[in-house]
Amino acid sequence: MGFTRSLGFRAGLLSALILLVLLAVWHVATLSAAPVAAAAPALTPEQIEYARLMGKDPTAGAAAPAAKSGFPTLAQMGTVVVKNLASPFYDNGPNDKGVGLQLGYSLGRVGLGYLLAALVAIPLGFVIGMSPLVYRALDPFIQVLKPISPLAWMPLALYTIKDSSISGIFVIFICSVWPMLINTAFGVASVRREWLNVAKTLEVSALRRAFEVILPAAAPTILTGMRISMGIAWLVIVAAEMLVGGTGIGYFVWNEWNNLSLPNVIFAILVIGVVGMLLDLMFARLQKAVTYVD
């Protein structure tokens, strides 16, 4: 116990150290960027003349805008983080919403698409897992459809559904469905024969057998599929929202890139990472709850 505790402590210490090093590198790198921006006046008179003709004034206040649009320093990053966390839910029109609000949109889409996928994949996986005939019949379709990038469906979805938001949900659906389907089928197909025999000799009804024997027996495998699906869905939502636009954390990233606001982009990246981790953690918990020791 003492050893594991000290191991955890040491690992935490090392993590903190790595974080400090990364921050220090960031700090040093952005410090050296500032003099480069300040070196703007070292232009030849012709270049200055040309810049003036293009409507820019390289001599006046060159440092300030360069620092604003360039890679942020740690201090700038800090203020952006504080500002975003202070009011995550503000809404100043379509192009200026708080990060919390955008995150809500994304989570809503992922949740809905994922739920629909689960509603389709788990029952269908049950059928595939129980019937070798259905398994063989559907296998070629699954094998062809599975490797398609979910974003490749986007034009088709936009054309048929004619609604960008629902198209986003559809893309989440289509990317979450495969791992759940395949894992459910595999889990159901590999339920131990002896448990099924116990159910048979006890004359257990088909419904009770499905819910009280096959489901708990296959639950760890199914949950693994659900966890993989959630990971993929969270990867895909960002790309899908960048493509469709409007709302969501993916759109937020793209919008801030158009605003050339790198601190906001970096902040959004961190938020995406943290939320993805929390989602994964949630599924890890669920997985632990249904896993049994044989």
Q: How far is the CB of 1 from another protein (least distance, A)?
A: 21
CA–CA separation, 254 vs 261, rounded Å?
A: 10
Q: Is 292 in the site for another protein (CB under 8 A)?
A: yes
Residue 144 main-chain phi, psi, to 5 deg: -80, -40
Q: How far is the CB of 28 from another protein (least distance, A)?
A: 54
Nearer to another protein, 218 or 279 (CB): 218
CA–CA separation, 125 vs 115, rounded Å?
A: 15
CA–CA separation, 214 vs 207, rounded Å?
A: 10
Q: How far is the CB of 187 from another protein (least distance, A)?
A: 13
Nearer to another protein, 38 or 202 (CB): 202
**Residues 216-235 vs another protein: string with x where CB under 8 A?**
xx-x----------------
- Residues whose CB is less than 8 angstroms from the CB of residue 9 and which lie 6 or more positions away in sequence, other chains included: none
Q: How far is the CB of 288 from another protein (least distance, A)?
A: 13
Nearer to another protein, 136 or 208 (CB): 208
CA–CA separation, 229 vs 222, rounded Å?
A: 11
Nearer to another protein, 3 or 292 (CB): 292
Which residue is it, tokens 């919390």?
A: 100
**Residues 164-203 vs another protein: string with x where CB under 8 A?**
----------------------------x-xx-xx-xxxx
Which of 33, 115, 204, 286 forms a contact with another protein (CB under 8 A)?
204
Please give the angle made by the CA atoms of 274, 277 and 278, to the nearest 5 degrees: 90
Contact 231, 196 (CB under 8 A): no
- Residues whose CB is less than 8 angstroms from the CB of residue 291 and which lie 6 or more positions away in sequence, other chains included: 219, 220
Q: Is 91 in the site for another protein (CB under 8 A)?
A: no
DSSP secondary structure letter of residue 203: T
Nearer to another protein, 26 or 195 (CB): 195
CA–CA separation, 118 vs 114, rounded Å?
A: 6
Q: How far is the CB of 291 from another protein (least distance, A)?
A: 9
Contact 82, 198 (CB under 8 A): no
Nearer to another protein, 145 or 286 (CB): 286
Which of 181, 213, 244, 249 forms a contact with another protein (CB under 8 A)?
213
Q: Is 207 in the site for another protein (CB under 8 A)?
A: no
**Residues 112-151 vs another protein: string with x where CB under 8 A?**
----------------------------------------
Q: Could you tell me the two tokens for 183?
A: 């894992």
Residue type, 38: A
Q: How far is the CB of 70 from another protein (least distance, A)?
A: 57
Nearer to another protein, 68 or 200 (CB): 200
Contact 89, 204 (CB under 8 A): no
Q: Could you tell me the two tokens for 282?
A: 């949630």
Nearer to another protein, 21 or 198 (CB): 198
How many beta carbons lie within 10 A of that of residue 191, not counting itself?
20
Which residues lie near another protein (CB under 8 A)?
192, 194-195, 197-198, 200-204, 208, 212-213, 216-217, 219, 290, 292-294
